[in-house]
């Protein structure tokens, strides 16, 4: 029996009453939906593969950004061919940054699931970092390091935006990463980076618009970097963050590029759609218009 639409649910979300209500509402509306719950992260690729073998043409990721990344990677495979199945998004995470960037009604789960089941797919770009795929944002430097290593009690002591980041840097006595940005056809750009983000979509960190000019179908990645240097101060950084795309900024660097490489002098922490990575050389490029997403 062919199952055209399959929902892959994060295991911890499967028994939540609001999730069950959303699924019931969609089925009551006459939408045929098969629900599968992988036992753990490692099982997701196998579950997606088996669903495709049974004839699924739409795979919905039910969970946070990490779950969406895992399902998307299972669909993309090696990245040599465009997946035939459409990816749907049922946002059940804390931040739901990818869903927010798609413009999904994240406060209406039944509406999100109905859209995931019925909306026509649109082709979006896929970001690539060291041959690993991401569809939302790769965050770099202390933002990723803090997310991976800071106790929640310490995070709660600081405010938002740039002041959160700088408060963490001071509290943890961190020093900037040193390295170079390599863009084909240009001279290397050397500097000291505190935080960076590579956006295929707009949002990261629970709603911060780190890539205000990002488009999912332009074949480009938006690089935002907060640099440290002579004259650096929180007030200056805050002012520049109000106009991050200003080419005259001293501490906020924003560029739209199809490919580039970041070389660090020590392993650079990176959070790839919620998945932690640590490398000294990060090579970025895109697969333009490679993945069908319902939104």
User: Which residues carry out catalysis?
Assistant: 275
Tokens of 101: 């960037």
Angle in degrees, 0-180, between the axes of helices 161-171 and 234-241, rounded to the nearest 10: 150
Cα separation, 233 vs 107, in Å, equals 37
Cα separation, 118 vs 27, in Å, equals 12
Cβ neighbours, 10 Å, residue 42 = 9
Cα separation, 227 vs 165, in Å, equals 12
Beta strands in 162-251 (DSSP E): 177-182, 189-199, 203-204, 208-209, 221-228
Cα separation, 227 vs 251, in Å, equals 5
Cβ neighbours, 10 Å, residue 119 = 17
Please provide residue 94's backbone torsions phi and psi, each rounded to the nearest 5 degrees. Answer: -80, -45
Query: Any idea what the Cα angle at residue 190 is, between residues 189 and 191, rounded to 5°?
Result: 125
Say if CB 124 and CB 164 are below 8 A apart.
no
Say if CB 6 and CB 58 are below 8 A apart.
yes
- The 3-state DSSP class for residue 191 equals strand
């Amino acid at each position: 029996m062919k199952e055209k639409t399959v929902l892959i649910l994060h295991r911890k979300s499967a028994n939540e009453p609001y999730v069950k209500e959303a699924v019931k509402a969609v089925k009551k509306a006459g939408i045929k939906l098969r629900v599968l719950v992988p036992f753990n992260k490692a099982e997701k690729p196998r579950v997606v593969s088996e669903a495709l073998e049974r004839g699924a043409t739409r795979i919905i990721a039910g969970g946070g950004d990490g779950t969406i990344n895992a399902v998307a990677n299972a669909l993309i495979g090696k990245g040599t061919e465009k997946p035939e199945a459409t990816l749907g998004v049922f946002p059940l995470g804390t931040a739901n940054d990818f869903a927010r960037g798609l413009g999904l009604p994240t406060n209406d789960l039944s509406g999100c699931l109905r859209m995931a089941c019925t909306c026509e797919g649109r082709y979006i770009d896929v970001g690539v970092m060291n041959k690993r795929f991401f569809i939302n944002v790769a965050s770099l430097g202390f933002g990723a390091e803090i997310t991976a290593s800071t106790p929640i009690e310490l995070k709660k002591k600081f405010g938002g935006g740039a002041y959160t980041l700088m408060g963490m840097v001071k509290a943890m006595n961190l020093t900037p990463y040193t390295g170079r940005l390599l863009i084909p056809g240009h001279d290397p750009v050397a500097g000291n980076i505190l935080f960076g983000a590579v956006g295929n979509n707009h949002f990261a960190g629970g709603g911060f618009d780190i890539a205000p000019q990002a488009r999912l179908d332009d074949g480009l990645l938006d690089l935002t970097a907060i640099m440290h240097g002579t004259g650096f101060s929180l007030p200056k950084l805050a002012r520049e963050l109000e106009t991050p795309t200003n080419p005259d900024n001293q501490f906020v660097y924003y560029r739209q590029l199809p490919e580039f490489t970041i070389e660090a002098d020590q392993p650079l922490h990176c959070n790839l759609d919620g998945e932690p990575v640590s490398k000294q050389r990060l090579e970025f490029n895109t697969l333009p218009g490679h993945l069908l997403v319902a939104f």
